Chain A
Amino acid sequence: MNDLVTLSLVPQSKAPLTRIVMKLASRCNLNCSYCYVYNKGDSSWRVRPPVMPAHVVLQSVLRIREHCESYQLKEIRISFHGGEPCLFGVVNFERLLTDLRSSLAGISTPRFYLQTNGVLIDDEWCRVLRMHEVAVGVSLDGPPEINDKFRVTKKNKGSYSQVVKSIEKLVSAGVRTELLCVMQLGADGGEIQRHMSKLGVSAVTYLLPDFTHDTIDPIRAVFGHSPVAKFVIGVFQEWLIQGWDQMKVGDLWNIIRILNGAPSKLETFGTSPPLYVFVETDGSIEGLDCLRVCADSFAATGLNIFQNDLQSISQLTAPQFQAIFERPSLAQDCKGCSERMTCAGGYLPHRYSSSNGFDNPSIWCEDIKLIFSYIRQELGINERLSV
Chain B
Amino acid sequence: MPTSNPEASMEFTTTPTVGAASTPIPDDVKKKLQDAVRKTIKDELAKPENGGITAAGHAKSSISW
B20 to chain A, nearest CB (A): 9
Contact of A223 among B10, B30, B45 (CB under 8 A): B10
Q: Would B65 and A84 count as touching, CB distance under 8 A?
A: no
A222 CB-CB contact with B under 8 Å: yes
Q: Would B9 and A187 count as touching, CB distance under 8 A?
A: yes
A40 to B30 CA separation, bound complex (whole angstroms)? 39
Contact of A237 among B14, B25, B55 (CB under 8 A): B25
A339 to chain B, nearest CB (A): 17
Interchain residue pairs with CB less than 8 A apart (16): A79-B59, A115-B61, A137-B63, A149-B9, A185-B10, A185-B12, A186-B10, A188-B14, A207-B3, A231-B16, A233-B16, A241-B25, A260-B41, A261-B41, A289-B58, A374-B19
Please report the total number of B residues contacting A with Cβ < 8 Å. 54
Contact of A240 among B1, B30, B45, B58 (CB under 8 A): B30
Which of A94-102, A242-250, A308-316 contacts its partner? Answer: A242-250
A342 CB-CB contact with B under 8 Å: no
A224 to B14 CA separation, bound complex (whole angstroms)? 12
Residues of B within 8 A of A35 (CB): 2-4
Q: Given A18-B52, A289-B59, is A180 in contact with B9 using a C-beta cutoff of 8 Å?
A: no
A169 CB-CB contact with B under 8 Å: no
Sorted nearest first, the 6 A-B pairs with minimum C-beta distance are A209-B5, A210-B4, A137-B61, A186-B12, A207-B57, A205-B62
A24 to B17 CA separation, bound complex (whole angstroms)? 42
Q: Would B55 and A79 count as touching, CB distance under 8 A?
A: yes
Q: Produce 1/0 per residue, B23-64, CB < 8 A to A.
A: 101000111111011101110110001111111111111111
Q: Would A266 and B54 count as touching, CB distance under 8 A?
A: yes
A80 to B25 CA separation, bound complex (whole angstroms)? 38
A274 to B60 CA separation, bound complex (whole angstroms)? 11
For chain A residues 163-194, which have a beta carbon within 8 Å of chain B?
Answer: 176, 178-191
Interface of A with B (CB < 8 Å)? 18-19, 21, 28, 30, 32-37, 40, 74-75, 77, 79, 81-85, 113-117, 135-137, 139, 141, 146, 149-150, 176, 178-191, 203-205, 207-211, 218-219, 222-224, 226-227, 229-231, 233-234, 237, 240-241, 244-245, 248, 250, 253-254, 256-257, 260-268, 272-276, 278, 288-290, 293, 347, 370, 374, 378-381, 387
Contact of A189 among B16, B29, B41 (CB under 8 A): B16
Residues of B within 8 A of A275 (CB): 52-53
Q: Would B34 and A381 count as touching, CB distance under 8 A?
A: yes
In the complex, residue of chain B having the shortest beta-carbon distance to the beta carbon of A149:
B8
A225 to chain B, nearest CB (A): 11
In the complex, residue of chain A having the shortest beta-carbon distance to the beta carbon of B17:
A230
In the complex, residue of chain B having the shortest beta-carbon distance to the beta carbon of A237:
B21
Known: A141-B3, A379-B30. 15 other contacts (CB 8 A): A139-B3, A149-B9, A184-B6, A185-B5, A186-B9, A208-B5, A229-B18, A237-B22, A261-B41, A265-B53, A265-B54, A266-B65, A267-B56, A274-B59, A275-B53
Residue of B18, B50, B55 with most partner-chain A CB within 10 A: B55
Contact of A266 among B8, B30, B56 (CB under 8 A): B56
Contact of A33 among B6, B49, B53 (CB under 8 A): B6
A32 to B2 CA separation, bound complex (whole angstroms)? 9
Q: Given A19-B55, A36-B2, A115-B1, is A176 in contact with B16 using a C-beta cutoff of 8 Å?
A: no
In the complex, residue of chain B having the shortest beta-carbon distance to the beta carbon of A29:
B1
A250 to B61 CA separation, bound complex (whole angstroms)? 11
